[in-house]
Amino acid sequence: MPPPPLLLLLLLLLLASSPAVLADVPPSNKLVFILAGQSNMAGRGGVVANRWDGLVPSDCAPSPALLRLSPDLRWEQAHEPLHQGIDAPNHAVGVGPGMSFANALLRSGRAGAPVVGLVPCAVGGTRMAEWVKGTDLYAEMLRRARVAVETGGRIGALLWYQGESDTVRWSDATEYGRRMTMLLRDLRADLGMPHLLVIQVGLASGLGQYTQVVREAQKGIKLRNVRFVDAMGLPLQDGHLHLSTQAQVQLGHMLAQSYLNYGHAHSQTPKPWWLQIMLLCCFVFL
């Protein structure tokens, strides 16, 4: 006996509500990643005496399938230095983790989109208090993320590397976890992406004596879909603060592996109650 029309309708609604449609933003031809934080995300690989040496590793080579959102909000082919024009004008920008991350993702064949779009937002020397909602940095990051979506992008994750400046003062270090949690909750709400994947990089260095306090705060974030990639132990080119070029390449690979392991978490988001009822009815009556 054929199923009643109502059940056929339920089945059609179920199929229409596949993970691709239930994702926080519609699918498109660009898989977008927001890159935010401070200098080690912006990239200081190859920068000596505030000048970049211009050396680009093969893992960071440009590709027609790799774009960046420019300072004037236009998609263009991405190339090193990725944060040129985004970081503060007085900061020399070099190799960061973004290009090696995106190239590793494309080489894996598991990106799920033909084009990867990078949205650089990092600014060197910034504290967490300068990134929370209500600040200029937060507003600019949100604006750029929204433009990326409006121009055909689907956000895959926020890549976050920040905290060195919060190791100087005890008050900043002890507030780090609370401020980071607030930042992520606000950004998810403002983007309409409650399950946005966040991959944060554990500090490899710090400007002050409270690096371990900030690292413990990073590890202690209790929100769902927040992953931790540890940069501790990667070589520092100045022996103090900034990752070397090869360390940035390695970090990009580590971030890519983390995304490939967990990056489709949003597609496994629990279905809404009405869809669960429809699914139950289908199993009962068919």
The bridge status of strand 75-77 relative to strand 115-120 is unpaired
Domain assignment present for 286: no
Tell me how far apart the 2 most distant CA atoms of the chain are, in Å: 79
When divided into structural domains, the chain yields a total of: 1
Domain assignment present for 2: no
List alpha helices for 24-157, DSSP H.
39-42, 98-108, 136-150
Whole-number Cα distances in Å, 120 to 82, 160, 167, 262, 280: 7, 11, 24, 22, 44
* 93-104: pLDDT as tens digits: 999 999 999 999
Residue 83 near residue 124, CB atoms below 8 Å: no
| pLDDT, position 209 | 97
DSSP character at residue 213? H
Residue 115: CATH number of its domain: 3.40.50.1110
Domain assignment present for 78: yes
Domain assignment present for 39: yes
This prediction has a pTM of 0.83
Place of tokens 């040129």: 84
Question: Hey, CA dihedral for 243, 127, 163, 142, is it positive or negative?
Answer: negative
* 119-150: pLDDT as tens digits: 999 999 999 999 999 999 999 999 999 999 99
Domain assignment present for 254: yes
Mean pLDDT of the chain: 87
* 28-56: pLDDT as tens digits: 689 999 999 999 999 999 999 999 999 99
Domain assignment present for 92: yes
Question: What is the domain extent for residue 195?
Answer: 25-268
Domain assignment present for 192: yes
What percent of the chain is predicted at pLDDT more than 90? Answer: 79
* 112-121: pLDDT as tens digits: 899 999 999 9
